[in-house]
Structure 1
Amino acid sequence: MTARTAAQRPAPKTAVPEPEKPASPSVDRALTVLETLVGAEEGLTLTALAKATSIPLATCASIVYTLEQRGYATRRVVGRSHFWRPTLRLYDLAAPLIRREDLSEVAQPQLRELADALRMPAHVGVLDGASVVYVAKAATPGFIQFDTYPGKVSPFNLTALGKAIAAYLPDAELEPLLDHLVQGTGPKARKATARGVRTQLAKVRQLGYAVEDEEETAEIACVAAAFFDSEGAVAGSIGVTGFARELGGRKLVSATELVVRQAKEISAKLGF
């Protein structure tokens, strides 16, 4: 038997990668249906939707009926045909994420000005359930750095950022939060009661800003003020964090004035 020459040898087969299979086919189908509805210029019938997504008709029907029950799809009946469209419930789902991303950009000049003027780290926070989430920060140079960062989550009733926001919530939105109060461990922590928090929030509205003085952590204090969106609803808060000994007397007065001013600047940017 003679050996084949290079020209005679069959070309090596190129491995064709198999398409990655979704971890959950049912979720994948539901998202495909939703994305197809969003991308369609007009409402789609079940038959058209099944054809566009390559999903069996019965499965497609189950998905859109579920989307309808959850408020993400609606249908218009014309004769015997049902035309399906997505609803703005999707916007409600994404709005908090969009708002957080926008705020980190919108508030940067105000954060920087606060941090530079007071030589303290400045933050923007938004409310997520009974917690305040730090979504942006302007740091200050120096060896000592506070344990605050974008993404940090703290109980709303133990932070100036959280109290500044909660003070302007409608009662229907505030009431559920009062069932999730957290007791502070700082030396000046007050007993976490719904009545006590309501009293604090009333004072915040009266003053126009919130103060947290060694309630969550010893030696740490914060000052924050709320800002509002174009419809007048509270959208978040901006504040500074420093050592309690540095946020007292005249320094506290100047800090609150600057914080309130910057909060108003952000409100104006948001159309309030």
Structure 2
Amino acid sequence: MSDGGSGAERPASPGVDRTLTVLEQLVTADEDLTLTALAKVTRIPLATCASIVYTLEHRGYATRRVVGRSHFWRPTLRLYSLASQLVRKVDLSQIATAEMRALAEELGMPVHIGVLDGASVVYVAKAATPGFIQFDTYPGKVAPFDLTALGRAIAAHLPADELATLLPRLAAGQGPRARESSSKAFMELLERVRADGYAIEEEEEQAEISCLAAPFFDAEGRITGAVGVTGFARDFVGDRRDAAAAGVVHLGIVISRRLGCRNGSLPSELVGS
């Protein structure tokens, strides 16, 4: 049986083709459309068009506004949700390899990229430093979002509803400087993160280890992940701390721009860094 991949002129599935035509028309239309108008502009039989829009409504891709006996159809943001997930699957491990290595060599600390997965941060990339001492960080490592600078940098820029689902899942730190694991205390911490443009965790998860991270954003200005450095707590003081902060903030901006984010979509405290 042929797979239809040799330049066939007609679509392999007319039903799918019609569905996509309706969906595209709903998205590009300047106003909500009645079923009659939608069928006319797409040149799809009225009964078929009705079946498509009711299916799209059932799946959450379309909704309708009823005015008298007329139903006006429009798309939902379900498509945006799918697109956002696709953007997040960009290979972040390769997006700033050279810059990550340069910063790791400059600071003498490993540099990481992390993304949020539920209430955890997943490390997806690492630029290590040479030497005998190596930190227990690696691509694939999972950590509580609130006990890492990476997770805090991300959480500080989440929409309110997404952050609200995470607050009941705060983890208690085991380090000597562990903070109170309450929603109020964490929200106050995130305010500081937003004001500074970066997050820091100091001996809260583990004794003698600290990390510092800055966020990066996608083309729509949505938080996508964070880039950070890990080192001994004694190294995050004075000029070295300032250099680490400046380095990760700059790298966060570089990654954001490579993801299509413009300055106008970046938080003002980052643009001014």
TM over 0.5: yes
| Structure 1 residues 261 and 43: alpha-carbon distance in aligned structure 2, compared to 1, 3 A threshold | closer
Higher mean C-alpha deviation, range 96-105 or range 205-214:
96-105
Query: Hey, what does 2:155 align to over in structure 1?
Result: 166
Query: Hey, what does 2:172 align to over in structure 1?
Result: 183
What amino acid is the match of 2:231?
Answer: G
Query: Hey, what does 2:117 align to over in structure 1?
Result: 128
Which of 223, 226, 235 is the equivalent residue of 2:224? 235
Counterpart Cα distance in 2 of 1:121 and 1:90: 37
What amino acid is the match of 2:254?
Answer: E
Query: Hey, what does 1:252 align to over in structure 2?
Result: 241
Instruction: State the secondary structure of the residue aligned to 1:221.
Output: strand
| Structure 1 residues 139 and 67: alpha-carbon distance in aligned structure 2, compared to 1, 3 A threshold | farther
Asked whether 1:215 is paired with 2:215, we answer: no
Counterpart Cα distance in 1 of 2:255 and 2:224: 10
Query: Hey, what does 1:206 align to over in structure 2?
Result: 195
CA-to-partner distance for each residue in 1:98-144, whole Å, 9 max, x for gaps? 52442222122331122111111100111112111111111111111
Q: Unaligned 5+ residue runs, structure 1?
A: 1-35, 45-64, 75-86
Which of 67, 79, 93 is the equivalent residue of 1:104? 93
Counterpart Cα distance in 1 of 2:215 and 2:15: 37
Counterpart Cα distance in 2 of 1:39 and 1:238: 44
How far did 1:158 drift? Answer: 0.4
Please report the TM-score for the alignment, with normalisation by the length of structure 2. Answer: 0.67
Q: Unaligned 5+ residue runs, structure 2?
A: 1-11, 21-53, 64-75, 262-273
Note the 1:1-272 alignment, pairs <5 A: 40-43=16-19, 69-71=58-60, 92=81, 96=85, 99-272=88-261
Please report the TM-score for the alignment, with normalisation by the length of structure 1. Answer: 0.67
Counterpart Cα distance in 1 of 2:15 and 2:247: 46
CA-to-partner distance for each residue in 1:39-62, whole Å, 9 max, x for gaps? 954459xxxxxxxxxxxxxxxxxx
Query: Hey, what does 1:8 align to over in structure 2?
Result: none
Instruction: State the secondary structure of the residue aligned to 1:176.
Output: helix
| Structure 1 residues 38 and 139: alpha-carbon distance in aligned structure 2, compared to 1, 3 A threshold | farther
Q: Determine if contact 1:110/1:266 at 8 Å carries over to the other structure.
A: no
| Structure 1 residues 95 and 255: alpha-carbon distance in aligned structure 2, compared to 1, 3 A threshold | same
Counterpart Cα distance in 2 of 1:211 and 1:39: 53
What amino acid is the match of 1:267?
Answer: S
Counterpart Cα distance in 1 of 2:137 and 2:88: 20
CA-to-partner distance for each residue in 1:22-53, whole Å, 9 max, x for gaps? xxxxxxxxxxxxxx879954459xxxxxxxxx
Counterpart Cα distance in 2 of 1:168 and 1:88: 20
Q: Determine if contact 1:107/1:124 at 8 Å carries over to the other structure.
A: no
Instruction: State the secondary structure of the residue aligned to 2:228.
Output: strand
- Alpha-carbon RMSD across the aligned residues, in angstroms, is 2.8
Counterpart Cα distance in 2 of 1:234 and 1:147: 26
Instruction: State the secondary structure of the residue aligned to 1:154.
Output: strand
Q: Determine if contact 2:87/2:218 at 8 Å carries over to the other structure.
A: no
Count of aligned pairs: 205
Instruction: State the secondary structure of the residue aligned to 2:137.
Output: coil
Counterpart Cα distance in 1 of 2:208 and 2:14: 52
What amino acid is the match of 1:196?
Answer: A
Counterpart Cα distance in 2 of 1:229 and 1:143: 36
What amino acid is the match of 2:236?
Answer: L
What amino acid is the match of 2:211?
Answer: C
